[in-house]
Structure 1
């Protein structure tokens, strides 16, 4: 059962009140656990946001630009 409205919430409160004191403490511990887990999940989701880097345009590359290793570095046998 998922408590969504005022009546559902009140029914849940009434059920909790009908429990023995030691069981109420267990319910409170469980609620604290659920809140902590939800906060951790929220923090983890925020940490997964993609990084946004600025894009700087330096214009077009020269037509004769070669990215072959031999053209960029001297061929010294490495």
Structure 2
């Protein structure tokens, strides 16, 4: 499954969304997500079971496995 993980300039995870698109158009309205300078988007491939994790700590630990090491 494709995911986009967003980190701040210190490498801390700010959030993650399924897919690699940061914009969507629906019913003629377009929304785009942008981030402040210094934030990075990491477009990664993760295991399909990521969508079923309901424990925030486990989810974050699994996300960290897909980030580049500093």
Per the shorter chain, which TM-score range? under 0.3
Give the number of the structure whose residues are more often strand, by fraction.
Answer: 2
Q: What TM-score, normalized to structure 2? A: 0.27
Q: What TM-score, normalized to structure 1? A: 0.24
Structure of greater relative contact order (alpha carbons < 8 Å, 6+ residues apart): 2
- Higher-Rg structure is 1
